[in-house]
Amino acid sequence: MEITVKSPREWLREFEVEIEPERLKARVEALLDEYKDKAEVPGFRRGRVPKNILERRLGSALESAAVEELIEQALTEALEKNGVKPATRARIDDLDVAPDKSIRFRASIEVIPEFELKPYAGLSLRRPSPAGFDAEFEKRLRVLQERCAIFQPVQRPAQNGDFVVIDYTLQEGGKIVAGPKSNVTLQVGSEGNHPDINRALINVRAGDERQVDINFPPDHPDKTLAGRTINYRFTVRGVRERILPEICEEFAQDLGFESLDALRQTINEEILAERDEQIQEDLRQQVIDQLTAAYNFDPPQSWVESHINRLIKEFHLSDSAEIRERLRPTAIKSAKFDCIVLRIAQEEKIVVADEEIENQVQELVRDTGRKPEEISPLVDNPSFRLLILQKKVLRLIIDQAEIK
């Protein structure tokens, strides 16, 4: 067998392979011997089919099977002989089986580029100090307070902060383009409303009708509204005042806590836990930034494309050439870090056991509330295993780092 290896990219190996005809002939003969006792051909008893008839009937199929086996064997031999560890499955091109039964083909295989592993223990990291704890505490307490609010009808005109119940239609050029909608609740003065709508609803009473024309500029973010003039027509059904409960022992007990102190303690612990995770995430990102900046190599192209596909799906982006190019630098960095993680894991003999995969899947089931059968495919997902390996490697590096 003759093997020629080329490296057109640092992440790509191309093998040109020629397999001598004797190997294919021998393998086809072996397969014929295996099938002669199993084959059923009309007019012959099983195991009594003449070899020439069996070859005429099954020769083409057996040769195809033999070719696949020999290609697989040749690739395994080529990879081992050249010390190549594939990052992806091989792509077979230019396969040719000559009349003399010699086999020629070209295989393209992406690999993790060779690079010298640089020091990763004792990295200098900065521990962030999140601010605004008191503001966050009050914000969460306010959210709980608003969740328990009651809405009381009032006879006075609507003021900022009140809630109005309306019916509405949207028109353009005298034609209805949306609606009618009934019993829609809006808060007067809300930042989520267009300013003209807030001005139209101030001081309304039940039974009032209002309308307002809103001109949307050509560069409006909502392309369905950009450059259009929409006439909003409202009929007010009622005005309601939101009454917030007093933050007291009874308020805490209504939420299922033993006391107001217990409620405050729970909020405090939630914020601390989230901030600790934010700190850890910041430290992880510092490690990623430092390690990827320390190396200058191109990661496997398919890994880059895989990260681009993940980002498009994760952030619900359109799959266009422009978007893909915009995401490429981030994807290259992620794929580069994948390569570094695998090398460090190899150096430190860090592995991911099947039990760890199962535990992570169970945690996802518990945390997301999704059905086990929806998440169970992750058990055999190489990307999920790599994600867990990344966490273990990052934990090792952070534990060994100098954090100031």
Domains of the chain with bracketed CATH: 2-110 (3.30.70.1050), 150-243 (3.10.50.40), 254-403 (1.10.3120.10)
Checking if the pLDDT of 40 tops 80, the result is no
CA distance 120 to 278: 22
CA distance 45 to 10: 58
State mean pLDDT over 203-215.
94
Token readout for 56 is 């005429």
| pLDDT above 70 as % of the chain | 94
Pick the range with the lowest mean pLDDT from 89-93, 115-119, 349-353, 359-363. Answer: 359-363
Burial 123-150 (b: 16+ CB within 10 A, else e): bebeeeeeeeeeebeeeeeeebbeeeee
Q: What is the CA radius of gyration of the chain?
A: 34
Checking if the pLDDT of 47 tops 70, the result is no
| Confidence (pLDDT) at 49 | 61
Give the confidence band of 55 by pLDDT, cuts at 50, 70, 90.
Answer: low
C-alpha torsion 192→194→196→201, nearest 10: -40
Nearest CA to 377 out of 358, 350, 390 is that of: 358
State mean pLDDT over 164-170.
95
Give the confidence band of 282 by pLDDT, cuts at 50, 70, 90.
Answer: very high
Give pLDDT tens digits for 222-250. Answer: 888 888 999 999 999 999 999 999 999 99
| Confidence (pLDDT) at 244 | 93
| Confidence (pLDDT) at 374 | 76
Beta strands in 149-265 (DSSP E): 150-153, 163-172, 175-187, 209-215, 229-243
Checking if the pLDDT of 291 tops 90, the result is yes
